[in-house]
Amino acid sequence: MDGLSLETVAGWGRHPVCRAAVARPERLRLPRAGRVLPRGLGRSYGDAAVPASAQSLVLETVRADRILAFEPSTGALTCEAGLSLAEILRVFVPRGWFTPVSPGTKFVTVGGCVASDVHGKNHHRDGSFGGFVGRLVIETADGRLVECGPDRERELFLATVGGMGLTGLITEATIRLKPIETPWMFVETEPAAGLTEMLDRLRHAGKDWPYTVGWIDCLATGSGLGRGIVIRGRHASRGEAPGVPPRENTPRAVPFDGPAWLLSPALMRAFNTAYYRIQCRRTGGRLVSHDAFFYPLDSLRDWNRLYGRHGFLQYQCVVPRAAGAPVLSELLDRLSRAGAASFLAVIKDFGPESDAYLSFPLEGTTLALDLPYRGPATEDLVHLLNATVIRAGGRIYLAKDAATRREDFERMVPRLPEWRRVRDRWDPEHRFGSALSARLLGDES
């Protein structure tokens, strides 16, 4: 394959890293032989888009980013897999359309959104990204181009949505955009003094608001455990929004790797306390840009450098609703006592799970937070958190994981045997693999 270069490859968390050959073709096709790892913009945090060894070819999709068709009567957009959500928003927001589901960054590709079955602040109402996919074109391990969707080659479709790029190379997708009246968001915030109040406010807000999310001070203890801010939003109507679009912000770059003292528990505790008190004063409604509401971290380019050259793990789990507050309290208590938590801790409500075999969300509450990577101590903390999650019947998000043990993963995913059966049918030699699949599925590296 032309245009190969030997590069260091890592996820957004900067751990782990691997040297491998990388190709960025304009037309997505598999090489005739060898192991392949499809990769988009590299925004999965852990090792899902990191090769298991230098023997794998990393096939980046970012130059295959063409819009192929759009049907304005339905919002159906057909595009190549490398098209980013940022480009979709740039083209379609002025025309009154928005992505149906948005993760915390817009710098992700459509192929990556399918492979991770990403979720957003509207999962309690709309579900995850795969629910808006009508058709995929996949190049399978033997070189065939196969169309699949909810009503054709359904098993391959369900194994590919949330399948972490391990069933084939997604080359095209048809997704359904949602209509909006303006590019503005109407947003309200309110404080929650503790975890029980946080969960109650999230559930209550979800009945009336399409987008809800909570920020938690994950270092608060005692009666303040789980305190935080509930944020709820909706797309603003023509009657309440200005007649001009919001001004675009120019992202600022982080010019160096963050020093160790920036991650000290004392500084993080002071930051969290100050942020909570400031946000408690910002009650009431206001209009903000969709970028400010959905992608606040995108305003800081390379923000992952704040965690230093050793990087970080982002831990995200979901706990079934029946398990509720006691399990979440236990998780927060473990984090607080370990002094491992950081600036970011997000809590959200999830609606029902989808039919996709490896899709992450299930009905309940999800908690996500960054853990500065400190070697085995951080991985041991992940194992402790996983033990609590498994006991509650929950699971972790593969797009962010880099430390879960294989035996724990197998206990979290009851539909794993079904997924393995479909994967083995379409890729019996496991040409598609990653460091994640070597760690969690036992693939050869």
Residues 6+ positions from 310 with CB-CB distance below 8 Å = 14, 15, 372, 373, 374, 375
Q: What is the pLDDT, as a whole number, of residue 371?
A: 92
**In this predicted model, what pLDDT tens digit does every residue of 280-290 receive, in sequence order?**
887 779 999 99
CB 331 within 8 A of CB 299: no
- Extract the tokens encoding 293: 């509401």
Residue 61 confidence (pLDDT) above 90: yes
Q: What predicted TM-score, i.e. pTM, was given to this entire model? A: 0.95
Q: Which residue has the higher pLDDT, 54 or 208?
A: 208
How many Å apart are CA 157 and CA 349, to the nearest integer? 26
pLDDT at 219 over 90: no
Q: Which long-range contacts (CB under 8 A, 24 or more apart) does 99-102 make?
A: 99/175, 99/177, 99/178, 100/126, 100/129, 100/131, 100/132, 100/175, 100/176, 100/177, 100/178, 101/126, 101/127, 101/128, 101/129, 101/131, 101/132, 102/294, 102/295
Please report the pLDDT score of residue 1 as a whole number: 66
Structure letter (DSSP) for residue 432: B
User: Which amino acid would we find at residue 164?
Assistant: M
- 170 touches 115 (CB < 8 A): yes
Cβ 395 vs Cβ 357: under 8 Å: no
pLDDT tens for residues 115-173? Answer: 999 999 999 999 999 999 999 999 999 999 999 999 999 999 999 999 999 999 999 99
Helix (H, G, I), strand (E, B) or coil at 359: coil
Helix or strand holding residue 79 (H, E): strand 76-80
Q: How far is CA 140 from CA 57, 164, 344, in A?
A: 16, 14, 38
State residue 267 phi and psi, 5-degree precision: -70, -40
- 94-103, 271-280, 301-310: lowest mean pLDDT where? 271-280
- pLDDT averaged over the chain? 94
Instruction: Determine the average pLDDT of the residues in 324-338.
Output: 89
Cβ neighbours of residue 46 closer than 8 Å, sequence gap 6 or more: 11, 13, 15, 313, 314, 398, 399, 400, 401, 402, 403, 436
* Joined tokens for residue 343: 């600036």
What's residue 139's pLDDT?
Answer: 98
> Residues for the chain: how many in total?
445
Whether residue 16 has a cis bond before it, omega within 30° of 0: yes
**CB 270, CB 261: distance < 8 Å:** no
Residue 223 has pLDDT above 80, yes or no: yes
What is d(CA 49, CA 39) in angstroms, rounded to the nearest whole number? 6
**β-strand 57-60 against 17-23: which pairing, if any?**
parallel
User: What are the structure tokens assigned to 308, written together?
Assistant: 């230093």
Mean pLDDT of 307-317: 93
3-class DSSP state of 328:
helix
CB 160 within 8 A of CB 432: no
Chain Cα centroid distance, residue 287: 25
Q: Is the peptide bond before 150 cis (omega within 30 degrees of 0)?
A: no
Q: What integer is the mean pLDDT of 251-269?
A: 82
pLDDT at 99 over 90: yes
Q: Which helix (H) or strand (E) holds 193?
A: none
For residues 68 and 133, what is the distance between their CA atoms, to the nearest angstrom?
A: 15
